[in-house]
A and B are shown apart, each in its own frame.
Chain A
Amino acid sequence: GESVGLHLPTLSVQEGDNSIINCAYSNSASDYFIWYKQESGKGPQFIIDIRSNMDKRQGQRVTVLLNKTVKHLSLQIAATQPGDSAVYFCAEGVNRDDKIIFGKGTRLHILP
């Protein structure tokens, strides 16, 4: 089926360090992008989104960067905490009336 993103990798980060999770998307026509966090046994939870007319957007401890030239999306988490342990998914959508497509995700593991 349709897919976006890389094979599911695991990123291990020391508690307190910054985390950077990367995603490559496939459709150059996509005009909005979302990051979701999924904790074990739960459904995904919205973190932050960005439109294609922006290249950076900041939230609370999180920043999303969009590079349309190379079709790359990243999520930066500042001062990583144990509660940040989860699988992070990027997703893309072509227009507001279309479905969004999720990538396979990245597992973030926090080292004590």
Chain B
Amino acid sequence: GAGVSQSPSNKVTEKGKDVELRCDPISGHTALYWYRQSLGQGLEFLIYFQGNSAPDKSGLPSDRFSAERTGGSVSTLTIQRTQQEDSAVYLCASSAGTAGDTQYFGPGTRLTVL
């Protein structure tokens, strides 16, 4: 595709349920990032994948959060036992190479935990 895509665009779930958010990066981009953005706030870094290197998970807020990237392309962010404070927009970005290259963002997934 022409850009980064994310699915679903909106997700409403009940507290305690698990959710999976998907990101399709731009084809050929080796770097992939997940961010969280709460209403009216900035972007909170979650995790960074670069090629075949071990991901930088330093931004994951708790062990309920995990992410994987299969085949160096599609990534899934999983939140287990969701809490109301997990409600936010989850943004994915990809870039052609290293962190210094321009990041292209997807439209985000708006997660609402009831």
| Residues of A in contact with B (beta carbons under 8 Å apart) | 1-3, 5, 8, 32, 34, 41-46, 49, 89, 93, 95-105
Q: At the interface, yes or no: B107 with Cβ under 8 Å from chain A? A: yes
The count of A-to-B residue pairs whose CB atoms sit within 8 angstroms is: 67
Q: Which 3 A-B pairs have the closest CB atoms?
A: A43-B105, A104-B42, A102-B43
16 A-B pairs within 8 Å (CB atoms) are namely A1-B45, A1-B59, A2-B45, A3-B42, A5-B42, A8-B42, A34-B102, A43-B91, A43-B105, A44-B91, A49-B102, A96-B100, A97-B50, A97-B98, A101-B45, A102-B45
Which residues of A have CB within 8 Å of B4? 43
Q: At the interface, yes or no: B65 with Cβ under 8 Å from chain A? A: no
A45 touches B99 (CB 8 A): no
Q: What's the minimum C-beta distance from A5 to chain B, rounded to whole angstroms? A: 7
